[in-house]
Amino acid sequence: MGQFRGPSFLDVAKINRHYNCETNCKYKIKCVNGGYQHPRNCNVCVCPPGYGGKDCTGIETSNPAKCNGILVAGETQRKFTINIKPKYLVNGVRKCNYHITAPPGKRIVVIVDSVIGNCVQGCYEEGVELKMYDDKTVTGARFCCKLQKPQTLVSQGNTVPVMVVAGKAQAFVQLRYATVDHPQNRSPKDGNATSSGFNPLFLEKYLDDSIDSEAIRREYLIQSDNIGQEDFETLVRREFVDENSVEI
């Protein structure tokens, strides 16, 4: 239970359901992305990490606020760097929230090139988290240790929340991102539209056994299901033309 720093979003949601906290509200509001109605403030939703706004359609507020926004993925790789510098006179957690988005029917390939963080189990201190599943209530793939080689992930849908967290120490991440066709939107002539013989093991060369837990490894392989090897390796090697960076 929990994520070392405290109970997870799903832990708190389960406790609320157990005690029927939703009955505190005399009316219902719609919450998306796995959020639920706040039992003590019925006009707003409690949102999973990475999401915000009244109904969880927006991006979670960052600290500082300027470290926040939308990154639009395209066919050509784009590079993004976040550097939260060490700051020893700080209270609480500093957190940057971004959403990588793609057009409907597209998936997103994210290549994590470099990470500086506090290398602890669970990566609950300085590090980065990327939510690759369509279910945004679950904890995403986390990185906080020095990478021996780039780590590659493929999303299930067309939105990837990226959260970089730091206390007093430094948190740094450099990544690339681009789009790939969702297999359901391919025509049979593309060769991978309905293929069931996809071998996910071709991703092994992009994974690092020394830092990735088995859970993260399974997540990578699940995300990459039905992405053709040729398409994937083309994306991995594609040159980026756009670069953006944030430093706080």
113 against 195, higher pLDDT? 113
Question: How far apart, in whole angstroms, are the C-alpha atoms of residue 125 and residue 144?
Answer: 8
The count of C-alpha atoms lying within 13 angstroms of the C-alpha of 26, restricted to the half-sphere facing its C-beta, is 0
Q: What percent of the chain has pLDDT over 90?
A: 58
Per-residue pLDDT tens over the stretch 187-245: 434 433 322 333 333 343 334 433 344 444 444 444 445 555 555 555 555 544 566 78
The count of C-alpha atoms lying within 13 angstroms of the C-alpha of 124, restricted to the half-sphere facing its C-beta, is 10
Q: Where are the domains of the chain?
A: 9-59, 68-247
The dihedral over CA atoms of 216, 60, 159, 78, expressed in degrees to the nearest 10, equals -90
Q: What is the mean pLDDT of residues 92-119?
A: 95
pLDDT on residue 3: 56
> What is the model's pTM?
0.78
- Residue 28 burial (10 A CB sphere; 0-12, 13-18, 19+): exposed
The model's confidence at residue 8, banded by pLDDT at 50, 70 and 90, is: confident
Q: What percent of the chain has pLDDT over 70?
A: 73
Residue with tokens 């597209």: 106
pLDDT on residue 189: 40
Which range (159-163, 176-180, 235-239, 241-245) has the least confidence?
235-239
pLDDT on residue 248: 82
Strand order in the sheet with 77-84: 151-154, 106-116, 171-181, 77-84, 240-247
pLDDT on residue 5: 67
Looking at every residue in the chain, the average pLDDT score rounds to 81
- Do the domains at 9-59 and 68-247 have one common CATH topology? no
Per-residue pLDDT tens over the stretch 20-75: 898 899 999 999 999 999 999 999 999 999 999 999 999 999 999 989 999 999 99
Question: How far apart, in whole angstroms, are the C-alpha atoms of residue 133 and residue 135?
Answer: 5
CATH number, span 9-59: 2.10.25.10
Choices 2.60.120.290, 3.30.930.10, 1.10.3720.10, 1.10.390.10: CATH for 68-247 = 2.60.120.290
pLDDT on residue 156: 94
Q: What is the mean pLDDT of residues 153-175?
A: 96
